[in-house]
């Protein structure tokens, strides 16, 4: 199972960008503890050092649903601004969302068409008489590269695979960035009510996770108490 997760400050101020960077650290620590593989696909740096406006992470595991239940939604950090000490606000909100509908480009060497030809330009007798240059084309995307760096056809072929993979992955990043622009509404949906998690302190070690059953239990207690009073 693979899922793309975006942690974003929305259009929040610098304090929210700082919270994103802090929350990312906690998020990655928990993925490791849960044996979840991750890859940071894209990050948008914040307006100051050690801050992030948003970060997109690719998660890989057999089952991610239970883990993400404790993360998806709005996240609150309770504390005084480290950038504006006189600011009265003490609750800062960011959001964690799942990016859906994006197909990941799978790069497989079996999908590459190799063509050999003579190298172009100067380079010695062997270069101009032997087919040492390689053109590699990734059939699914139509992307291609031409490599004539060495006099060895085998070495040029290896280089072509590496460069072609980088080029194809660029397409994936471009699609991701386009998808992120299309889902900018996520940044506007950072709600301040009912956060899935609440952090406090500059070290982010204090972590209170909202549990809906606690509210339900309190409601039941009050109802039971009222019921006993009615009986009396």
Residue with tokens 């889902």: 183
Q: Do 85 and 34 fall within a single domain?
A: yes
Q: Do 40 and 145 fall within a single domain?
A: no
Q: Give residues with Cβ within 8 angstroms of 39, minimum separation 6.
A: 57, 58, 60
Q: Do 143 and 42 fall within a single domain?
A: no
Residue 169 belongs to a domain with what CATH number?
3.30.160.20
Q: Do 160 and 94 fall within a single domain?
A: no
Domain annotation covers residue 86: yes
Looking at residues 139-157, what average pLDDT do you find? Answer: 90
Rounded distance, CA 160 to CA 73, Å? 43
Domain annotation covers residue 226: no
Domain annotation covers residue 95: yes
Looking at residues 21-36, what average pLDDT do you find? Answer: 93
Q: What's the pTM value of the predicted model, to 2 decimals?
A: 0.61
Q: Do 164 and 186 fall within a single domain?
A: no
Of 13 and 232, the structure prediction assigns the larger pLDDT to 13
Domain annotation covers residue 228: no
Given CA atoms 147, 150, 153, 156 in this order, what sign does their dihedral have? negative
pLDDT at position 127? 47
Q: What is the 3-state secondary structure (H, E, C) of 150-219?
A: CCCHHHHHHHHHHHHHHHHHHHHHHHHHHHHHHCCHHHHCCCCCCCCEEEECCCCCEEEECCHHHHHHHH
Q: For residue 95, which of 17, 32, 164, 31 has the smallest C-alpha distance?
A: 17
pLDDT in tens, 169-184: 777 766 766 666 666 5
**Contact at 8 Å (CB) between 150 and 156?**
yes
Q: Give residues with Cβ within 8 angstroms of 215, minimum separation 6.
A: none
**Tally of structural domains, the chain:** 2
Domain annotation covers residue 230: no
pLDDT in tens, 88-134: 777 888 988 887 755 566 788 899 999 988 876 654 444 456 678 99
Taking CA atoms, 194 is separated from 37, 209, 215, in Å, by 29, 10, 12
Sheet with 112-117, edge to edge strand ranges:
112-117, 133-138, 143-147
Q: Do 39 and 93 fall within a single domain?
A: yes
Rounded distance, CA 60 to CA 73, Å? 20
Q: Do 89 and 118 fall within a single domain?
A: no
pLDDT at position 213? 45
Looking at residues 57-73, what average pLDDT do you find? Answer: 89
Q: Do 113 and 165 fall within a single domain?
A: yes
Q: Which domain holds residue 152?
A: 109-174
Q: Do 99 and 120 fall within a single domain?
A: no
Check pLDDT > 70 for residue 76.
Answer: yes
Rounded distance, CA 128 to CA 146, Å? 16
pLDDT at position 20? 93
Rounded distance, CA 65 to CA 98, Å? 11
Per the prediction, the chain carries an average pLDDT of 79
Q: Do 191 and 166 fall within a single domain?
A: no
- Structure confidence at residue 155 as a pLDDT band (50, 70, 90): very high
Q: Do 18 and 86 fall within a single domain?
A: yes
The beta-carbon contacts of 121-129 under 8 Å, at least 24 apart in sequence, are 123/148, 123/151, 124/151, 126/151, 127/151
């Amino acid at each position: 199972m693979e899922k793309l997760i975006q942690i974003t400050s929305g259009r929040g101020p610098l304090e929210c960008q700082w919270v994103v960077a802090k929350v990312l650290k906690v998020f990655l620590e928990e993925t490791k503890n849960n044996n979840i593989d991750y890859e940071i696909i894209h990050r948008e740096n914040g307006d100051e050092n050690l801050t992030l406006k948003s970060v997109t992470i690719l998660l890989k595991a057999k089952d991610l649903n239970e883990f993400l239940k404790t993360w998806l939604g709005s996240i609150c950090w309770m504390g005084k601004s480290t950038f504006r000490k006189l600011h009265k606000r003490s609750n800062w909100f960011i959001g964690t969302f799942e990016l859906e509908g994006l197909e990941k480009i799978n790069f497989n060497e079996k999908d590459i068409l190799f063509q050999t030809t003579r190298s172009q330009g100067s380079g010695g007798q062997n270069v101009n008489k032997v087919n040492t240059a390689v053109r590699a084309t990734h059939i699914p995307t139509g992307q291609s590269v031409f490599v004539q760096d060495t006099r060895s056809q085998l070495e040029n072929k290896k280089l072509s695979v590496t460069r072609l993979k980088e080029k194809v992955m660029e397409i994936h990043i471009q699609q991701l960035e386009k998808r992120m622009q299309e889902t900018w509404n996520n940044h506007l949906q950072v709600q301040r009510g009912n956060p899935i998690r609440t952090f406090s302190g500059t070290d982010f070690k204090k972590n209170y996770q909202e549990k809906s059953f606690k509210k339900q239990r309190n409601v039941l207690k009050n109802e039971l108490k009222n019921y006993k009073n009615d009986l009396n």
